[in-house]
Amino acid sequence: MTTRAMSLDGVVDRFRFVPSALRRLERAPLAAALDAEIRHVDTWSAGRLAYYVDTRATGRPVVLLHGVDAAASSKEMAPLFDALRGERPVYALDLPGFGLSERADRAYDRELYRAAVRRFLTDVVREPGGADVIALSLTSEFVAAVACEEMSLVHSLVLVSPTGLGREAPGASAVLRTIAHVPPVAGALYRMLASPPSIRWFLKKSFVGAPDPGLVDYAIRTSKEPGAHRAPLAFISGALFTEDAFERLYARLPVPTLIVHDQDPYSRFERLGDLQQRNARVEVARIAPTRGLPHFEQLDATLEVVRRFWAQDPW
């Protein structure tokens, strides 16, 4: 064998293991937020959406919709999913731009989220009498809008710490709204908000005690996914809130609705009494002491009021 041939063989041997080394350097895929089957649905406006499902039980389906924040996902609904999966068919949707759903560069606004919820209820859940929906925080506005527009899709609503019920309009400050539209500055802002210390700090505000470690860990992981900044920046810009949600949405709700709340650092509820006077379909349950995520800190109490609400079902 010539010296040249020997040197080429050495080069080949040296780089034989490069592909496996490169694979180790690749980003590992985001793990599932829930221990359940994952399926996907393709939508025209929001791309491919992921959802978790357990349909082994029978009965009216329950649909769980997480909130909107810097690192949201179906992990925010994990206690309810695990508790209800043996009783009813249960679905949990990762909203556009979050969790395992597509995070492409598109306009994220409230119409996108309303359309995604509508499509999910219409084409995936497909319950003739409508599903029982549990929504968290800002997502309450999206599903309330769907219920007002297409009552047949929603049998009942449970809104956990919903936005839009304070005397002041929710949303970001003018400074944050401006920053959210300046890409370099917005990117830096998101990196700051989604840093592990920031995520822990924000989640700590939503718990009376220590924040759930699994929720914190998954929030940190999902915030590092490519495109993770896009939907949260739309949230910061104020593009996802409904102006005067009290009048346009909650006062008009045509389906039985339970609002679960207590103290919340991100939502106010001064108009709950007014809402009950305006809309006889609305009930209110306070689970104290909690700070926005009662189903994490007081799961049994949360399930008790939800099951009692569902048990009234003459609807």
CA 84 to chain centroid, in Å, comes to 18
Handedness of CA 255, 112, 264, 251 (dihedral sign): negative
How is residue 166 annotated by DSSP?
A: S
Q: What DSSP assignment string belongs to 67-127?
A: --STT--GGGGHHHHHHHTTTS-EEEE--TTSTTS---SS---HHHHHHHHHHIIIIII--
At 279, give phi and psi (nearest 5°). Answer: -130, 105
Scanning 225-292, the segments in alpha helix (DSSP H) are 230-237, 245-248, 272-278
Please answer whether residues 41 and 48 qualify as being in contact, where contact means their C-beta atoms are separated by less than 8 angstroms.
yes
Give the whole-angstrom CA distance, residue 134 versus residue 92.
10
How many CB atoms lie under 10 A from the CB of residue 295? Answer: 26
Closest CA to 61 of 150, 154, 146, 123: 154
Beta-ladder partners of 307: none
Q: How far is CA 137 from CA 48, 83, 126, 230, in A?
A: 23, 20, 24, 19
Q: Specify the pTM.
A: 0.89
Taking CA atoms, 209 is separated from 45, 206, 249, in Å, by: 39, 9, 33
Distance CA 233, CA 204 (A): 21
- Backbone torsion region of residue 256, taken as left when φ is above 0, otherwise alpha when ψ lies between -120 and 50, otherwise beta: beta
CA distance 188 to 176: 12
In whole angstroms, give the CA distance from residue 164 to residue 39. 32
Q: What is the pLDDT along the chain (315 residues), one digit of tens a residue?
A: 444 444 444 444 444 444 544 444 456 889 999 999 999 999 999 999 999 999 999 999 999 999 999 999 999 999 999 999 999 999 999 999 999 999 999 999 999 999 999 999 999 999 999 999 999 999 999 999 999 999 999 999 999 999 999 988 765 555 566 666 666 777 788 898 899 999 999 999 999 999 999 999 999 999 999 999 999 999 988 889 999 999 999 999 999 999 999 999 999 999 999 999 999 999 999 999 999 999 999 999 999 999 999 999 765
* Cα distances (angstroms) measured from residue 288 to each of 22, 79, 292: 51, 17, 10
Beta bridge partners of 156: 132
